[in-house]
Amino acid sequence: MLKAISRIVNEVKSFVRGVREAMIEESVSALEAEYIELESVFLLMLLGPLVGIKTVTPLLSLELLEPLVPEIRILESKAVRGEDVIGELMSALGGAP
């Protein structure tokens, strides 16, 4: 009898741990999606005035471009490669850009 109760308690503990892990994983996924959305809005806000979309003043946009240096380097490398499908595939697989 005591063994059966102990087994049930252990099963309940395992279930609760599993639910907790699932909730944490789901929360992290939601936060990652929100981060990507906010990053996209930030990029649109800063790069918009450079292409004619009025969001902030062009001067403020240029002042805030410093955090975008890595993104601009990625954009530049993609522009240099152009429509190189093989290069894009190799880059995605971890090959040299």
Closest of 48, 53, 78 to residue 65, by C-alpha: 48
Closest of 1, 24, 97 to residue 89, by C-alpha: 97
pLDDT of residue 85: 61
The string of pLDDT tens digits covering residues 4-51 is 899 999 999 999 999 999 999 999 999 999 998 888 888 788 777 777
pTM above 0.85, yes or no: no
- Burial class for 45, CB neighbours closer than 10 Å (0-12, 13-18, 19+): middle
Give the residue extent of every domain in the chain.
2-92
Distance CA 50, CA 54 (A): 9
